Amino acid sequence: MQLFNGDALLDTFPPGALPSVPAIMVTTPQGLGLQVSGMAGEGWDFAVKEMLQSFERAFQDGVELDSLTAALVETQDRLVAMYDLSKAARRTLDISTLLQLLTDEINRLLSATGAFSVLTQPGLPNLVYQNCSPPLSEEQMLEAARQYRSFPIHNNSNDFRSMPIGSRNALMINIPVHEGVIGILAVFNRAGVFSTPDIKLAIALAEQTGAQLENAMLAQETLVRARFETEINLAHQVQTALLPQKLPPVTGLDLYAVSVPAREVGGDFFDLVLLPEHPFTFLLGDVTGKGMPSAMLMTMTRTVGRSAARNMPYSEPHQLMQRLNTDLLDDYSTVGMFCTVFIGVFDDSRRNLKYCNAGQSPIIHLPAEGEPVLLPAGDIPIGIFDGHEYTSQEISLGSGDVLVIASDGLPEARNNNEEMFGYERMKMTLSASRHLSAKAMVDTLFSAVESFSGNQYKEDDCTIIIIKVNSMPKKIVSIQATFEEVRTIDEALRALLQEEKIPEDIITTCELAFHELLTNRVDHAYNGDPNGRIIVTMSVDSGGIVLETRDTGTPADLDLKKVKMPDPTELAESGYGLAIMMAIMDEVDFYTVNGENIWRISKKLKPA
């Protein structure tokens, strides 16, 4: 008995037996044949056919069982591979490692000769990994990925545009990650075509890896955000430390300053410089923009300004501004930014302020009695033009006057209707609070801005310096009408004027005039009676020095309009003191009220 498949002999029974005659030969449509030797006849033909059909059924069952077994084994291998890939992916948050695991595993499972993966993230270099022999160039892989994105088909064995050079077939699919990230997985040169199960397997692995990639990216973003926040907090601490931590005690001024950045760091700054034998100098600036670039330029500007105010051999505001512009022009020009700056130099002896305003606003002057005045800028911001000649301006600050130097973040604060707080509201708020201390005025203004703007508050940096001129010192003393007491008043007057840093020539003039007035009252009001009393008032105001006496002695019988210097040729013994006093003082006045004689003399303090 011999079994054939077509012309090929499959088996013989008994083994090695040779065919003999007669023989019966039957075949099936599938090409399977059975020859039985030593038998003949129709009955045997039927029997042999039945045997062959039974054998064929058993043979086909075996073939199908082997195929099913192989399919189950392959499915199991793929499930194990997916499990292994998932387990390995859970142990890492490194994006490159995840791409490597995916590429190596898909290449192994599909028995291909090459595989690669491409990941494109906005603002970051492309990530490319391959398992190819020979290796592909990065340009080839990126170009294949680009073409696939424009013509996406899974099994593109007929699409030569997307296939790597030298490949017979290729399977390319998306790696699904969050929006904005593009991932491509490619497998090529598989024996045979990529079947539907191959495509489903690749998609399942890509989806699983895509979820892991998204987790890894989220972890990296969290790490980067945490590192950035740490660095920003450190920058905020550094920037805050650069601003004055204590306000200098400036004679005659109530001073307060604060800077509140819209973000952790900002472009606004202020500085207050008070050195021995130097006038009080202050700066406020606003660098264009927000965030870290503005903060860096702000730090540079503040450092150069402070150094110039402390160490340069000049003190005029426009000279300091010129130095800022010269030193920082290149830095600002390079990044296309600029800085508005206000520099003030305050002479407390004359209550006089010289300032240079390079585009800074608002600057508001609130006179003690009168409406607020917005002072315009006289120069352009620094960092724009080389060689610009800056200028200084001048203003007198009287007792109770207030000067407000602020950045535009306060008047430009908007409410939910996009309406700005504005200069007028700012002036009204400051005017209504001018009786408060400088700090209380700042608190009131910030509260008003916050109440007005609500959720829109602090869209820009807010910085402010408030300078409020205190009421000038005044001394009131009651003395006996003796020359010894007069000498104590001379000493007290000199001490008061020196404390207020009045120039020596003015001190001497006031001493001489007041001494003449007091001795006149001792001689003529009380005729040397030591029991008489004189009330002495000495005060310094922004406009000048006022000296006053009050007594109840004999009133002066004279007309001040007719007082003149005696003619030396007439050898007059009196009249010189009153005439000298009227000649050297700006105002001399005398009147009697309810039996009290009041003399008042004054000397104006003119701006330097």
CB distance 114 to 136 below 8 Å: yes
Say yes or no to pLDDT of 325 above 50.
yes
Tell me the backbone φ, ψ of residue 181, rounded to 5 degrees.
-110, 130
Check whether 477 has a pLDDT greater than 70.
yes
Q: Is the pLDDT score of 359 beyond 90?
A: yes
Residue linked to tokens 């301006």: 393
Q: Which of 34-48, 352-366, 458-472 has the least mean pLDDT?
A: 34-48
> pLDDT band at 438, cuts 50/70/90?
very high
State the DSSP H helix or E strand holding residue 419, giving kind and residue range, or none if neither: none
| pLDDT higher than 60, residue 586 | yes
Task: Identify the pLDDT of residue 447.
Answer: 92
What pLDDT was estimated at residue 441?
94
Whole-number pLDDT of residue 166: 62
The answer, yes or no, to whether residue 288 has pLDDT greater than 60, is: yes
Residue 338: pLDDT band by 50, 70, 90 thresholds?
very high
How far apart are alpha carbons 591 and 569 in whole angstroms? 32
Whether residue 24 has pLDDT greater than 80: no
Task: Tell me the C-alpha distance between 266 and 461, whole Å.
Answer: 6
CA quadruple 549, 550, 551, 555: dihedral positive or negative?
Answer: positive
Determine the Cα–Cα distance for residues 287 and 298; give it in Å rounded to an integer: 6
Calpha distance 127→521 (Å, rounded): 99
Q: Band the pLDDT of 330: cuts 50, 70, 90.
A: very high
pLDDT at 597 over 70: yes
Q: What is the rounded average pLDDT of the residues 86-98?
A: 68
pLDDT at 46: 64
**pLDDT for position 145:** 84
311/75: higher pLDDT:
311
Output the pLDDT for position 149: 78
Question: How many whole angstroms separate alpha carbon 366 and alpha carbon 204?
Answer: 74
Residue range 40-45: mean pLDDT, rounded: 62
Residue 283's pLDDT is: 94
- 76-97 mean pLDDT: 63
Task: For the domain covering 92-220, report its CATH number.
Answer: 3.30.450.40
* 242-265 residues labelled b (16+ CB within 10 A) or e (exposed): bbeeebeebebbbbbbbbbbbbbb
With a cut of 70, say whether residue 45 has pLDDT above it: no
CA distances from 105 to 78, 94, 95, 376 (A): 10, 17, 16, 72
Find out whether 349 and 370 touch, Cβ atoms under 8 Å: no
Q: What is the pLDDT of residue 608?
A: 46
- The dihedrals phi and psi of 288, each to the nearest 5 degrees, come to -60, 150
- 375-383 average pLDDT score: 93
Residue boundaries of the structural domains of the chain: 2-73, 92-220, 247-469, 474-604
**What confidence score (pLDDT) does residue 433 get?**
92
- Coil, strand or helix at 572: coil
- Of 14-28, 78-92, 387-401, 407-421, the one with minimum mean pLDDT is 78-92
| Phi, psi (degrees; rounded to nearest 5) at 405 | -115, 120
Q: Residue 64 has what pLDDT?
A: 57
**Tokens 């001129």 belong to residue:** 469
Residue 500 CB-half CA count within 13 A: 25
Predicted pLDDT of residue 158: 45
What does the pLDDT read at residue 150? 74
Average confidence (pLDDT) over 585-592: 86
Q: Mean pLDDT throughout 90-97? A: 71
Q: What is the DSSP track for 131-188?
A: EESSPPPHHHHHHHHHHHHHS--SB-TT-TTTSPTT-S-EEEEE---STT-EEEEEEE
Q: If you ran DSSP here, which 8-state letter would residue 369 be given?
A: S
> Token pair 């520099």 is at which residue?
343
Please answer whether residues 287 and 470 qualify as being in contact, where contact means their C-beta atoms are separated by less than 8 angstroms.
Answer: no
The per-residue pLDDT for 358 is 96
Tell me how far apart the alpha carbons of residues 25 and 33 are, in angstroms, rounded to a whole number.
Answer: 7
Mapped to the 3 state alphabet, what secondary structure does 88-128 carry?
HHHCCCCHHHHHHHHHHHHHHHCCEEEEEEEEECCCCCCEE
- In DSSP notation, 42-80 reads HHHHHHHHHHHHHHHHHHHHHHHHHHHHHHHHHHHHHHH
User: Can you tell me the mean pLDDT for 294-311?
Assistant: 85
Residue-wise pLDDT for 178-210, tens only, equals: 778 888 888 888 877 788 888 888 888 888 888
The answer on pLDDT for 421 being more than 50 is: yes
Q: Which CATH number fits domain 474-604: 3.40.190.10, 3.40.640.10, 3.30.565.10, 3.40.50.970?
A: 3.30.565.10
pLDDT of residue 165: 56
**Which residues are within 8 A (CB) of 131 and not within 5 positions of it... i.e. 6 or more apart?**
103, 104, 107, 114, 115, 116
Please list the residues that pair with 269 across neighbouring strands. 285
- Mean pLDDT over 522-541 rounds to 86
What percentage of the chain exceeds 70 in pLDDT? 77
For residues 79 and 304, the model is more confident at: 304
What mean pLDDT do residues 140-152 have? 80
Q: What is the mean pLDDT of residues 443-458?
A: 83
> Cα separation of 560 and 542, whole Å?
26
pTM to 2 decimal places? 0.53
DSSP reduced 3-state for 400 = coil
Query: In the prediction, which pLDDT does 324 show?
Result: 93
Q: Looking at residues 503-513, what average pLDDT do you find?
A: 92
Average the pLDDT over 542-549 and give the result.
81
Structural fold of domain 247-469: Phosphatase 2c; domain 1 (3.60.40)
Judge whether residue 82 has pLDDT over 70: no
Which position has the higher pLDDT, 237 or 112? 112
Does 93 score more than 70 pLDDT? no
pLDDT at 157: 47
Mean pLDDT of the chain: 80
Cβ-proximal residues to 62 (8 Å cutoff; 6+ apart), any chain: none
Residue 279 has pLDDT above 80, yes or no: yes
pLDDT the model gives residue 159:
46
Tell me: the pLDDT tens digits for 546-556? 898 999 998 88
CA dihedral 148, 154, 158, 162 (to 10 degrees): 20
- 273-310 residues labelled b (16+ CB within 10 A) or e (exposed): bbeeeebbbbbbbbbbbbebebbbbbbbbbebbbebbe
Strands 352-358 and 393-396: antiparallel
Q: Decide if pLDDT at 89 tops 70.
A: no
pLDDT band at 270 (very low <50, low <70, confident <90, very high): very high
Contact 339, 286 (CB under 8 A): yes
Beta strand pairing call for 596-604 and 587-593: antiparallel
